[in-house]
């Protein structure tokens, strides 16, 4: 799986090592971190483009993120696509948990799913919430899910 920084620079290390290096660097600078993971997708010409982000927020000092992009032929319902976004976020969170736990970094998993039933994505809300909470992660949906709704969304636009 290939990851990059927001500026497009590829990470030279595997994501686990890159995350640990970032945590160590930020700790050394005295920054307290919190991590947010989210995925968004956009359908373009029969292809669903996905972006998964690992967002690091420094307490009162901004943040940065690592990004993974991929594509899949779009032949799925809105509900299937929303749940695939959640699956991608959970896989990333599960993979990074040992490092985040080792350094006592708080983690939230964000879903680009609207809590308002008037929106299409709401069809997947109950399953997404159950999936994320069932895996033991803190769950946030729109309007609180900035990692997926804002950060990952900028990558797939």
Q: pLDDT tens digit string along 52-64? A: 999 999 999 999 9
Question: What pTM, to 2 d.p., does this model score?
Answer: 0.95
Alpha-carbon distance values, 121 to 66, 91, 114, 118, 128 (Å): 25, 21, 6, 9, 11
> Going by DSSP bridges, is the β-strand pair 63-73/106-114 parallel, antiparallel, or unpaired?
unpaired
Token pair for 59? 């307490």
Between CA 138 and CA 124 the distance in angstroms is: 17
Instruction: Place 157 in a pLDDT band, splitting at 50, 70 and 90.
Output: confident
> pLDDT digits over 12-41, tens only?
999 999 999 999 999 999 999 999 999 999
Domain spans, the chain: 4-156
Instruction: Check: CB of residue 39 under 8 Å from CB of residue 89.
Output: yes
Indicate the DSSP class of residue 10.
B
The model's pLDDT over 86-101, given as tens digits with 9 standing for 90+, comes to 999 999 999 999 999 9
| pLDDT over threshold 90, residue 8 | yes
**What integer pLDDT is reported at residue 74 of this predicted model?**
81
- pLDDT tens per residue, range 102-143: 999 999 999 999 999 999 999 999 999 999 999 999 999 999
């Amino acid at each position: 799986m290939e990851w990059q920084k927001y500026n497009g620079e590829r990470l030279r290390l595997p994501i686990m090592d890159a995350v640990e290096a970032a945590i160590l660097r930020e700790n050394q600078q005295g920054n307290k971190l919190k991590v947010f993971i989210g995925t968004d997708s956009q359908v373009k010409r029969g292809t669903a483009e996905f972006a998964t982000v690992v967002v690091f927020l420094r307490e009162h000092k901004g943040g940065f993120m690592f990004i993974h992009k991929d594509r899949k032929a779009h032949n799925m319902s809105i509900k299937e696509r929303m749940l695939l976004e959640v699956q991608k976020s959970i896989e990333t969170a599960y993979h990074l948990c040992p490092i985040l736990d080792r350094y006592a970094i708080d983690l939230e998993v964000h879903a680009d799913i609207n809590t308002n039933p008037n929106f299409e994505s709401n069809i997947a809300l109950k399953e997404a919430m159950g999936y994320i909470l069932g895996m033991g992660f803190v769950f946030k949906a729109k309007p609180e899910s900035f990692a997926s709704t804002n950060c990952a969304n900028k990558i797939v636009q």
